[in-house]
Amino acid sequence: MRVLGLLALLVLTLSAARADVPDTRTEQARSLLENAQRELSANAAEIDQRSGLTQVLTARLRAHLSQVATTASPDEMLLLAQLDAGLVDQLATQTYVSLSAVRGASAGLLPAIGPKKLAHALAIYVPTSVIVHGMTPLIIYLHGKGQSEADVIASPLVRSWADAGGAVVVAPYSSDEDMLSDASIGELYQALGAIEDAMHADRRHTFLAGNSLGGFAAFRTLAEGPERWRAGLVIEGAVAQGDSDFVAAHVHGKALYLVAGSNDASVSAAYMRQLASWLRSNGALVTYYEQPDGTHSLQSVAPMASKAWHDMLAGVVPTGTTNEVLPQGPTPPATRP
C-alpha cells in the first residue's frame, strides 16, 4: 500500500510539472506572431504602399497574440500564426508563393488587384492527397464578420470538408466595412480570374461559399456573375434588402444550398426557410438544411453544413416532387449580423 501511495504521489507530481510546461505549439505561435510584428513594423511603409494592409495586419497580429494564452486549440492557433507570419513575410520581401505549388495551408498574394493595383491577400488550402487539375473543385469561401481569410483556412472544420471532397479552398481577404460594396465585388471577380489562371481551374468546377456576413456577400457576388459559378453555398447568411431585386433577377437555374440553425438569433431559421422559398419562386434550385439547436456559429451547424458541402460538390439538386415545401412569400428584411 505504501508503494502504491508513493507511485500515486509521483504521478501527481509529474502531472503538475507537465502542467507548468508551456505547450510548444503555443510558444511557436507566440514567437511567429511576435516576429511578424517586428517584420511588419520594420517594413510598414513599403507594405502599406504595396497592399494598403499595414493597419489591418497590425490590428490582426495584436488580436491573435492576445488569443494565444487562452486558445483551446493550439494546433489551430499555430496554423493561424503561420498564415499571418507568411503573409507579412511575403509582403515584406515581395516574394509571393506560387498558388499552383501550394500543398496544405498557405497565405498568398495576388499582385495588381483593383483600381490601385495593390497586392490582394488570400489564404489557400490544397489537400495533400489532391493532384490539382482542371476538374478539381475550387471553392471561393467568403468569411464572416470579425474574421479574416486566415481564420477560414485555419479552421479544422473547413479543411476537413476540403479533404473529404478533394477540393481546393481559397479565402480572399475582405473588409467587414465594405464586403458588399460594388468595389469589393469587382475586386473579388478580378481576384477570381487570377486564382483560376494560377490554379488552371475549369470554371465549370468553381463554387462560391459564404458564412454569416460572407453569406450576404455571396448572394450579391453570385448575382453579379452567375455564369462564373457552378453552385453556391450560404451558411447562416441572407440577401440584403437592397439586393433583393438584383438577386431575384440572376438566380434562375442556379443550384443553391442554404444552411440554418434552428436557434440562430442573428439570421433566424424562419427567415432562412422563407428565403429558400423566395429563391425558388425566382427559379433557383434550392436545397435547405436546418441544424437542430444550431446557433449563429459555424461549429454549431457543422453536421448540416457538412452535408450541404458534400451535396454541392456531388451535384445533388432538388426536384419538384421531392423538395421540401416551405412557406411562400417575398424575402423578409435582413440586417447584417
Which H, E and C letters describe 148-185, residue by residue?
CHHHHHHCHHHHHHHHHHCCEEEEECCCHHHCCCHHHH
What fold, for 24-95?
Receptor-associated Protein (1.20.81)
Lowest mean pLDDT across 19-28, 65-74, 120-129, 258-267: 19-28
| Whole-Å CA distances, 172 to 77, 164, 191 | 19, 22, 8
C-alpha–C-alpha distance, residues 139 and 135, integer Å: 12
pLDDT band at 117 (very low <50, low <70, confident <90, very high): very high
Residue 166 has pLDDT above 90, yes or no: yes
Average pLDDT (301-319) is 93
Residue 186 has pLDDT above 80, yes or no: yes
Residue 139 has pLDDT above 60, yes or no: yes
pLDDT band at 132 (very low <50, low <70, confident <90, very high): confident
Q: Indicate the domain borders of the chain.
A: 24-95, 97-321
pLDDT in the model for residue 18: 43
pLDDT in the model for residue 23: 77
pLDDT in the model for residue 71: 86
Residue given cell 496544405 in the structure block: 104
C-alpha–C-alpha distance, residues 89 and 92, integer Å: 5
Mean pLDDT of the chain: 89
pLDDT in the model for residue 308: 97
Report the percentage of the chain scoring pLDDT > 90: 80
Residue 11 has pLDDT above 60, yes or no: no
Which H, E and C letters describe 315-328, residue by residue?
CCCCCCCCCCCCCC
pLDDT in the model for residue 322: 32
Pick the residue with more confidence: 332 or 49?
A: 49
Question: Is pTM, for the whole model, over 0.85?
Answer: yes
Residue 313 has pLDDT above 80, yes or no: yes
3-state secondary structure of 110: strand
Same fold, 24-95 and 97-321: no
Which CATH number describes the domain made up of 97-321?
Answer: 3.40.50.1820
pLDDT band at 20 (very low <50, low <70, confident <90, very high): very low
Pick the residue with more confidence: 285 or 177?
A: 285
